[in-house]
Amino acid sequence: MQPRLICIWYHCHAPAGITEAFVHAVLDAAALKQANAMLVLFTGAHMCLSLVMVRAAGAAGLVGADAVTMLLRIVYSLWWVSHRVAHLSFVLRVTWMCQVLRSSHYSNMH
């Protein structure tokens, strides 16, 4: 398996954890149930995608399926975050999200 693939996988996991942690910290009970239901759907999608991609590319397919699923979870979490910080200007939101992603990258390097 190529080290490049592991790097992509790693960079998908770090932001997913940070963004999901923020989302789970700020949602009310009803929204949290909805977010958790989406995580169950993402798990089902991951299982299906894994089966297809492992047959096509072996272990690299599994890493690819995991990366795709993490990217979906990041996009979903960022959608929630964008609604949470909607009152901020666009520039502040983008700056904040970049700082979150950057800090997750550096905190996972140690």
pLDDT averaged per 10 residues in sequence order, the chain, 110 residues: 71 81 85 90 94 92 89 89 69 72 56
Three-class SS of residue 92?
Answer: helix
Per-residue model confidence (pLDDT) at position 110: 46
Q: Is 44 exposed, middle or buried (0-12, 13-18, 19+ CB in 10 A)?
A: exposed
Distance between CA atoms of 42 and 40, rounded to whole angstroms? 5
Its domain, for residue 34, covers 3-107
Predicted TM-score of the model (pTM): 0.70
Domain count, the chain: 1
* Strand positions, DSSP E, 24-70: none
